[in-house]
Amino acid sequence: MAPKQKGNVDIVAVAKAAKVSPSTVSRTFNHPDLVSPATRKKINRAVQKLGYVRNRAAQMMHGKRSGTIGLVVPTINHAIFAEVIQAFSDAIDQEGFTLLLASHGYDLDREYEMVRKLMEHRVDGVALIGLQHSAATSRLIAQQETPAMAIWNYTEDSELPCVGADNRLAGRMAAEHLLELGHRDIGLIFPDTRGNDRAQYRLSSALETLQKGGVSVPEDRMSEAPYSVAQAKQAAIRLLSGPARLTALLCGNDVIAQGAVYGAQNCGLRVPGDVSIIGIGDFKGSADIEPGLTTIRIPAETIGTLAGQRFTAYITSETREQFRLRCRLERVVRGTTCSAA
Amino acid sequence: MAPKQKGNVDIVAVAKAAKVSPSTVSRTFNHPDLVSPATRKKINRAVQKLGYVRNRAAQMMHGKRSGTIGLVVPTINHAIFAEVIQAFSDAIDQEGFTLLLASHGYDLDREYEMVRKLMEHRVDGVALIGLQHSAATSRLIAQQETPAMAIWNYTEDSELPCVGADNRLAGRMAAEHLLELGHRDIGLIFPDTRGNDRAQYRLSSALETLQKGGVSVPEDRMSEAPYSVAQAKQAAIRLLSGPARLTALLCGNDVIAQGAVYGAQNCGLRVPGDVSIIGIGDFKGSADIEPGLTTIRIPAETIGTLAGQRFTAYITSETREQFRLRCRLERVVRGTTCSAA
DNA sequence: AATAGTATTGCAAACGTTTTCATAAATCTT
DNA sequence: AAGATTTATGAAAACGTTTGCAATACTATT
């Protein structure tokens, strides 16, 4: 059926089969209006018969766009990033772009390597998670004049165009919620903040808000946990079985919060009766656990979609005007928080 | 610091800056042993100064590999695929490849489009999830002679090289577990099996095993649920509040199983006291919920890593000998199953 | 029926590399 | 110290496209 010319089906093979010149074949793809319908039909038949597939690398060499966008994330294996990646991928796919994906495991030096690698493939743009990046990365982006953007975090003075949420506000909202409920003895469980501006912002603003509310959080009420339910559970147990009688736990993200819920239950404490727990993120599944997790919702899907749409528009436009989109946060009160005593 | 030649830093710019010919520059990258140390140093300095970044598209035009591998998944936004993608990405990255990722939402026609799109970018190989694909997809792969492999599912007679688990066995193991515990009234909740051979295999072999064990599962004990805790919960409630007095639920994957646990609890049934529940997959988090989910573990990370390693080896080898790897399944008994009454 | 357009096609250069071949310089033979 | 190797470099062709320009074949105008 498909005669496959030992794999070397290129535009000139098609031209030969259709008895026209390569130029005409090329034009049929790129400017069909300049080619007569009859010729077009001949060419399409030849394309069909030979199973020709366009070679974008070769096109690219004429200043055409590669049609790829690079996305560099800390990790793929994460409810929240998975959701962003999916939405971003769908959005750029809609515009004919393909996703080049790389992850760096929260290591900013590896992030640089990944960006470099993507640039070797001449991506039309590179999207990064968060606004904190190594100087080398910024220099590289500037030097190559590759369009770049930040996803997930928003600040009004960001260097890069960005689409995301205000993580400082997220930390504040979580703290305010606990404050409003009358909690004074509050523990914090956060991930390592190095190279993770999202967590950094959340933590510092939560702390600040609590302070302003007259609540101080000494060292022994803070704990660090990686992105893992099991380890967060351990961290919560440590905190809750310590000397301080905590009535609330503020967690850096929903996975940690989920672990904290199990940890509290494990200590024989009822949630929210004995201890209130709030997360940040509203991951898929946070609504489903029992009791439903109270959290500050960050609209991952919306962010991914918007980021994809804006970025492709940015890339294809001539003007290249900066954009900064702040996505609204939402306090989602479910079953893991209630007023203190 | 970096003078950036209006973005047109190519190999001849470097050559000019280092006062050598472009050939020598090229050689410095590809066959450094053929160029004198002194010259190499000059060239590296020029590269540094101009911020030159290799152009793989241009290399590719000389029969060099593109250095990219395409991965087409049903969806990224899925605990289980996210884990595979991460592991696969890391494994191929190790070998210098970059990941081109696309998703099709369980639509085999869209899968074809995605494969085609990846081939336009001349990926060095394309990995697909599962063994069931449209005829068009298979034809395209054969015609283009692009190395291809299947991830996640294993059968000994697969057309494509594959790394995965035997999903038939998974279904059987889950059914056997319930049978061994003495359950006779068993309900099934599975996702839509169209275009999803993993679910198909699991379902049919579970059904078959139950049958052999003398347990029949009439239509009204089967329910369909998409990949969503909330909807699985509803499906479980429907099943458990029906006329049949079910003592066990066999779920097509862990997300559904988790929903089923909540559904059972919602019906006032204790798990596993009143109803046993088993899932398939052992997703991240399945161990953490309360009670821990009994499941058939499919080692996603191992599969992803192995797939990446084997595929890159396959691609870079001359011989191209087929490979088929079956990853071991494991029955993980946690807290959601116990013997019938 | 001759002229001026217009629609369609082909030629050839260009894109940024790699690689074969040829050449020049350095080193080794004896 | 002359030839024989070996080492280091450069020139040019090739890869698969796109596109500006030139050429040809139509069509419309008078």
Per-residue pLDDT tens for B221-245?
999 999 999 999 999 999 999 888 9
- Going by C-alpha positions, the residue among B283, B299, B237 that lies closest to residue A284 is B283
Q: What is the DSSP letter of A105?
A: T
Per-residue pLDDT tens for B310-334?
999 999 998 899 999 999 999 999 9
Interface of A with B in 251-280 (CB under 8 A): 258-259, 262, 265
Q: Is A176 helix (H, G, I), strand (E, B) or coil?
A: helix
Between CA B134 and CA A112 the distance in angstroms is 39
Place of tokens 């050939």: B23
Between CA A93 and CA A101 the distance in angstroms is 13
- The pairing of strands A276-281 and A222-224 is unpaired
Q: Confirm if A128 and A196 have CB atoms less than 8 A apart.
A: no
Per-residue pLDDT tens for B123-163?
999 999 999 999 999 999 999 999 999 999 999 999 999 99
For the CA of B35 and the C1' of C30, the distance in angstroms is: 30
Stated as kind and residue range, the H or E segment containing A242 is none
If phi > 0 it is left, if psi is from -120 to 50 it is alpha, else beta; for residue A176 that is alpha
Q: Which residues make Cβ contacts (< 8 Å) with residue B5, sequence separation at least 6?
A: B13, B50
Helix, strand, coil in percent for chain B, rounding step 5? 45, 15, 40
Could you tell me how far CA B167 lies from the centroid of its own chain?
Answer: 14
Full set of structural domains in chain B with CATH: 1-48 (1.10.260), 68-165+300-328 (3.40.50.2300), 167-298 (3.40.50.2300)
Between CA B5 and CA A209 the distance in angstroms is 49
Strand D close to A317 by CB, under 7 A: no
Is the predicted pLDDT of residue B6 greater than 60, yes or no?
Answer: no
Give me the pLDDT at residue A318, please.
Answer: 86
Q: Confirm if A161 and A319 have CB atoms less than 8 A apart.
A: no
Cross-chain residue pair A57–B57, CB shorter than 8 Å: yes
For the CA of B24 and the C1' of C18, the distance in angstroms is: 11
Give me the pLDDT at residue B5, please.
Answer: 45
Task: Look at chain B and count its residues.
Answer: 341
Cis preceding linkage at A37, omega within 30: no
Q: Which residue has the higher pLDDT, A125 or B3?
A: A125
Mean pLDDT by 10 residues, chain A (341 residues): 60 96 96 95 96 96 95 94 97 98 97 98 98 97 96 96 98 98 98 96 98 96 95 96 94 97 94 97 90 96 98 94 97 97 75
Give me the pLDDT at residue B289, please.
Answer: 86
Give me the pLDDT at residue A79, please.
Answer: 87
To 10 degrees, the CA torsion angle through B52, B56, B57, B60?
Answer: 140
Average pLDDT along chain B: 95
Q: Which residues make Cβ contacts (< 8 Å) with residue A51, sequence separation at least 6?
A: A2, A4, A9, B140, B143, B144
Alpha helix (H) residue ranges in chain A: 11-18, 22-30, 37-50, 56-60, 79-94, 108-120, 135-144, 167-180, 197-212, 229-240, 254-266, 300-316
Averaged pLDDT for residues B261-271: 94
Residue B121 at interface with chain A, using a CB cutoff of 8 Å: yes
Between CA A255 and CA B61 the distance in angstroms is 46
The angle formed by the CA atoms of residues A103, A109 and A114, to the nearest 5 degrees, is 40
Residue B56 at interface with chain A, using a CB cutoff of 8 Å: yes
Task: Look at chain A and count its residues.
Answer: 341
Mutate to test the interface with B, among A5, A62, A76, A266 (most CBs of B within 10 A): A76
Q: How many contacts does A have with B, using Cβ atoms within 8 A?
A: 153
- Going by C-alpha positions, the residue among B257, B263, B240 that lies closest to residue B293 is B257
Q: Name the phi and psi angles at B321, rounded to 5.
A: -85, 135
Residue A144 at interface with chain B, using a CB cutoff of 8 Å: yes
How close is the nearest chain B Cα to the Cα of A183, in Å?
27
Strand D close to A44 by CB, under 7 A: no
Q: Confirm if A114 and A76 have CB atoms less than 8 A apart.
A: no
Between CA B285 and CA B276 the distance in angstroms is 19
Give me the pLDDT at residue A6, please.
Answer: 53
Give the pLDDT band of residue B8 (cuts 50, 70, 90).
confident
Between CA B205 and CA B67 the distance in angstroms is 40
Q: Confirm if A131 and A111 have CB atoms less than 8 A apart.
A: no
Cross-chain residue pair A100–B100, CB shorter than 8 Å: yes
Residue B310 CB neighbour total at 10 angstroms? 18
Cross-chain residue pair B262–A288, CB shorter than 8 Å: yes
- Alpha-carbon radius of gyration of chain A: 26
Cross-chain residue pair B89–A101, CB shorter than 8 Å: yes
Residue B341 CB neighbour total at 10 angstroms? 8
How close is the nearest chain A Cα to the Cα of B62, in Å?
11
Residues 51-110 of A with CB under 7 A from strand D: 52, 54-55, 58-59, 61-62, 64
Strand D close to A10 by CB, under 7 A: yes
Give me the pLDDT at residue A288, please.
Answer: 87
Q: Provide, rounded to the nearest whole percent, the portion of chain B with pLDDT above 70.
A: 98
What are the chain B neighbours of A53 within 8 Å (beta carbons)? 116, 119-120, 144
In DSSP notation, B31-50 reads -GGGS-HHHHHHHHHHHHHH
What are the chain B neighbours of A121 within 8 Å (beta carbons)? 56-57, 66-68, 98
Q: Confirm if B149 and B123 have CB atoms less than 8 A apart.
A: no
